[in-house]
Amino acid sequence: MKHIVQEPILQAEIFQKVPAFTRQEAEDALAFCCKRLDETMDSFTDQFPRSSSENGWYAGGANDEWTCSFYTGMLWLAYALTGKDSYRRVAEHHTENFEDRLRHGDMDTHDIGFLYSLSCVAHYKLTGDGHAKDVAVGAADALMRRWKEKGEFFQAWGRIDDPANYRFIIDCMMNLPLLYWAGEETGNALYTERAKKHLKTTLDNILREDASTFHTFFMDPETGLPHHGETHQGYSDDSCWARGQAWAVYGLPLSFGYTKDALAMEVHEKVTAYYLNRLPQDFVPYWDLIFTSGTQPRDSSSAAIAACGLDEAIKYIEREDLKQIYTGAADAMLRSLAQDYTTAGQKSNGILQHGVYAKPANRGVDECVIWGDYYYMEAL
């Protein structure tokens, strides 16, 4: 693996002095999330919110995007938090829909991990439902079919026989937990072996020497050797897409939790320092980390994901000073989101505003994005 720079965390002292995010702050913010779910559940029982809002409103649609599990995931979070059956009933109904998608719908994506971890795996973990477990294992099998032996990775997008799509992306760090889980549940070591190999391919190739990440990385379909990095949703091929870096900040400790691969946490410290060092004053990044001031749109969802990643990492790191810094950084990001980024008091069916889906495509810019709502609630 190439040498990757470890930047010092420039605001370490500031983060160490951040007042703790209190239980009261969390309860108030979660009450708002549950209120939004109460207001929207009827509309999103047989339909799913689209990936991003338009003027603060999510339309409903079929279960055909990579993002359809995030609303379901919020329902399971709300059920775990409150024990209210109203959330559970709708979330259980969604499992039928996810089963239908598995059998007949669009599964030409590696985002099967996002889709089925937050729906069917959550259903199984919270209720013990064996059918939900079977659907989730079926989904893990569908992800396994995206494995590419030459280059050892899971193909991100498109038809599996399309050589123009011979690439993996940083987001896939979030899809691996479905495979680790399936390995544990079924006793079939192949799920875990491939997830670990994909992790290694990612660490070897998608990181740049300065600890920033490419969004996507192509392998040569003939030789399986590394080819080139390219952005899809970032500013440029050599800039660092803010959500991509956040997927690394969260995805690496998730992998470590299953694999205990020390390299994942070593790299995590580096990508996290890179991320924290490019936050503007209110700790919510611009949509690409090439911007550190000015009027470019923020991506609030990136901050929510990174806050989850810092909280996850704190479970595994031993250095007290680093734990303090990460705790303060996560609390600072969450407080900023809770105070200045929610839709409270506005006419909206979303939770977190000022997210960006894909700036280069002018899609979902300065809008609610459904994964931003989800990770904000998960972080809380």
85 noted as active-site residue: no
Q: Which residues contact 193 (CB under 8 A, 6 or more apart)?
A: none
Smallest separation, CB 112 to ligand GLY (Å) = 12
Residue closer to ligand GLY (CB basis): 30 or 174:
174
CB atoms under 10 Å from CB of 340, counted, come to: 12
Torsion angle defined by CA atoms of residues 155, 156, 157 and 163, in that order, rounded to the nearest 10 degrees: -30
Q: Buried b vs exposed e over 298-326: b needs ≥16 C-beta within 10 Å?
A: bbbbbbbbbbbbbbbbbeebeeeebbbbb
Q: How many angstroms separate the CA atoms of 311 and 268, rounded?
A: 13
Residue closer to ligand GLY (CB basis): 15 or 235:
235
Residue closer to ligand GLY (CB basis): 53 or 233:
233
Among 123, 194, 243, 278, indicate the residue that binds ligand GLY (CB under 6 A). Answer: 243
Among 92, 99, 171, 269, indicate the residue that binds ligand GLY (CB under 6 A). Answer: 171
CA 25, 27, 29, 32 torsion-angle sign: negative
Q: Which residue is nearest to ligand GLY (CB)?
A: 171
111 noted as active-site residue: yes
Residue indicated by tokens 């079919």: 145
Smallest separation, CB 345 to ligand GLY (Å) = 27
Smallest separation, CB 154 to ligand GLY (Å) = 13
Return the closest-CA partner of residue 56 out of 266, 265, 345, 378: 345
DSSP letter string, 51-102: SB-BTTBPPEE-S-STTTHHHHHHHHHHHHHH--HHHHHHHHHHHHHHHHHH
Chain residues 195-234 in contact with ligand GLY, contact rule CB under 6 A: 233
Q: Which residues contact 63 (CB under 8 A, 6 or more apart)?
A: 48, 97, 98, 100, 101, 105
Smallest separation, CB 93 to ligand GLY (Å) = 25
Residue closer to ligand GLY (CB basis): 9 or 307:
307
Residue closer to ligand GLY (CB basis): 32 or 374:
374
Chain residues 318-377 in contact with ligand GLY, contact rule CB under 6 A: 357
Please tell me whether residue 269 binds ligand GLY under the rule CB under 6 A. no
- Catalytic one of 28, 85, 111, 299: 111
Smallest separation, CB 170 to ligand GLY (Å) = 9
Residues forming the site for ligand GLY (CB under 6 A): 171, 233, 243, 357
Active site residues: 111, 171
